[in-house]
Structure 1
Amino acid sequence: MIARRFFIASAVAGAALPVLPAGASRYAAKFHANEFPNPLLATHTGQRLRFYDDVVKGSKVLVFNMMYASCRNICPPNTAGLLQVQKLLRHRMGRDVFFYSLTLQPDLDRPADLHAYARRHGVGPGWTFLTGDRQGIDAIRRKLGYFDPDPNVDADLMQHTGMVRIENHALDRWMMMPSQLTPAKLARSIVELAS
């Protein structure tokens, strides 16, 4: 079922946004500012921010993934892989590359829960975990292509996708890739999208 989610997430995201393979970052996917939701969110450190105004707008390269603090399935290996990518990009993290993990359980994952998750996994600077109200998080995840058209599958947290959405807002470029690619391949794709 998880493999099905990878395919469906890519296909659904591709209907709204081209899914660009590594090396194809020269092609722009149109994803305009007025199409972004802008709900109020909370970070794992308790900071309040708006999704478009404070996360997306004016940023260089953003890497998004979905997770939840009590996940024992796909989240820990995805986080471990992204930690390796973070280490490879250490000099760029928080400067022109930013990671954002959005919870799939905003009703349960408070900033303190996300902070504990980040500490438990050794997450460093430039990586922010986000929560908010259910409506706002759902609007964001849908816009980023993290949903299944079947509402029963979409509601099943055990089937959530292991994809990362990578975005260069300044150049209006987007791609979606499996988070289980080798850290070197993910890091290279992020760097390519930055140029």
Structure 2
Amino acid sequence: MNRFAHRGLLTFGLLAFGIGQALAHSADEHPGQEMAAKMASPETARIKFADVTLLDQNGKVVSLEKDLVSNNIVVMGFIYTSCTTVCPVVSSIMGKVQKQLGARVGTEVQLVSISIDPQRDDPQRLNDYARTFQQGPGWSWLTGSPQSVTVTLMGLGAYSADVENHSPLILVGDGNNRFWTRYYGFTDPTELARAVEKLSGERNAHAKHTAIAMEHQP
């Protein structure tokens, strides 16, 4: 059995037996799990997109802001492929979000997973890893040079000098707004999907008000 098939089985095992048991099972492998054990807590924060290029899982050069975030509602997670505890759970949560949102992912909604271990996670490795979790288009898995990934993570407030000690984090936001919501810990996929729906509703309301205002212009 190859390592990616094995990781897929592990992922389903984690979900089947619950996050609490997953944390207890591998307490020494990922110190950041202490944060994950707590209830997921959202907070609003301002983010900044670094002016650098990254690589997606197909080896394509992309700009996170211009190619993936711009004019989209985005759900963004942070992982590395050799992580066997927290990261598969975070990726599984995002996979459930993709399933709940359906065809909207890839049109109005974009999912993004950024590797925090770019020295080992090349596009091919991310591509193999993504197969365990991804259920359709609209989900980009990113890596790049260590320098580009570092400044990207710093701008997003997701940088950790110790890869194995990073806290589970998912960001949700509108590409047209610099203020995004950070969800720390393991968040219910339904809560994330609701956050996307709320942003979508706000977009629609804004577009409607703009159209009405234009109609009443002299």
Q: TM-score range by the shorter chain?
A: 0.7 to 0.9
* Alpha-carbon distance, 1:84 to partner: 0.8
Unaligned runs of 5+ in 2: 1-30, 203-218
Q: Say whether residues 1:42 and 2:66 are aligned partners.
A: no
Contact 2:49 2:156 (8 Å CA) reproduced: no
Give the length in aligned residue pairs: 169
**Aligned equivalents of 1:171, 1:106: Cα separation in 2:** 27
* Alpha-carbon distance, 1:182 to partner: 1.4
Provide, for residues 70-100 of structure 1, a one-character-per-residue CA deviation record: whole Å limited to 9, x for no partner: 1102011111111111100012101111011
RMSD over equivalenced CA pairs, Å: 2.5
Provide, for residues 108-161 of structure 1, a one-character-per-residue CA deviation record: whole Å limited to 9, x for no partner: 1111000000113344211110010011101111111113xxxxxx33222212
- Alignment TM-score, normalising by the size of structure 1: 0.77
Q: Say whether residues 1:102 and 2:114 are aligned partners.
A: yes
- Return the match for 1:185 from 191, 207, 214: 191
* Corresponding residue number in structure 2 for 1:64: 76
- Mark the structure with the bigger radius of gyration: 2
**Aligned equivalents of 1:5, 1:134: Cα separation in 2:** 25
- Return the match for 2:143 from 131, 134, 139: 131
Given the superposition, is the C-alpha separation of residues 106 and 174 from structure 1 closer, same or farther in structure 2, using an over 3 Å criterion?
Answer: same
Q: Secondary structure at the match of 2:85?
A: coil
Q: Say whether residues 1:52 and 2:65 are aligned partners.
A: yes
| Structure 1 consecutive aligned stretches of length 4 or more whose deviation exceeds 4 Å | 3-6
* Alpha-carbon distance, 1:52 to partner: 2.6
* Corresponding residue number in structure 1 for 2:126: 114
Higher relative CO (Cα under 8 Å, sequence separation at least 6) belongs to: 1
* Corresponding residue number in structure 1 for 2:165: 159
Contact 2:73 2:175 (8 Å CA) reproduced: yes
- Percent of residue pairs identical: 28
Contact 1:167 1:175 (8 Å CA) reproduced: yes
Q: Secondary structure at the match of 1:117?
A: helix
Provide, for residues 11-67 of structure 1, a one-character-per-residue CA deviation record: whole Å limited to 9, x for no partner: 9xxxxxx923xxxxxxxx655xxx5212111110121112232223x3221111110
Q: Say whether residues 1:19 and 2:43 are aligned partners.
A: yes
Q: Secondary structure at the match of 1:129?
A: strand
Contact 2:35 2:185 (8 Å CA) reproduced: no
